[in-house]
Amino acid sequence: MIEALKSEEIVEKMGGRFKLCALIQRRLVELMDGARPLIEREGRSDLELVIEEILREKIAIDLNKSDLPDDFPIGETRDILEANGYVIT
């Protein structure tokens, strides 16, 4: 199952490696905090379970939802990143 991470299919499905990594991390934390798996475990590790949930499209990233507080200084953060050579798109 972890072999799926070597495939570009799962990366493209999520819209990039960063988004894929963020989703995997968030879901792993949910499982460790007691969330129920969305598919049968069948002896799989938590990481294998999360990858299979992604492949079966049981979980995805909600691009409209943000965990940032309303007063988070996005403009200032953007300025700092750009000043250090990062390109913001």
31 part of a folded domain:
yes
Of 30, 48, 22, the residue nearest 39 (C-alpha):
48
Residue 65 has pLDDT above 60, yes or no: no
89 part of a folded domain:
no
Residue 32 sits in a domain whose CATH number is 3.90.940
52 part of a folded domain:
yes
Number of domains composing the chain: 1
Domain that holds residue 67: 2-83
Q: What is the pLDDT, as a whole number, of residue 29? A: 92
Q: What is the pLDDT, as a whole number, of residue 58? A: 92
Per residue in 8-59, pLDDT (tens digit) is: 888 888 888 888 888 899 899 999 999 999 999 999 999 999 999 998 999 9
62 part of a folded domain:
yes
88 part of a folded domain:
no
pTM: 0.66
Q: Which residues contact 59 (CB under 8 A, 6 or more apart)?
A: 23, 27, 38, 50, 53
Q: What is the pLDDT, as a whole number, of residue 69? A: 65
Q: What is the pLDDT, as a whole number, of residue 17? A: 84
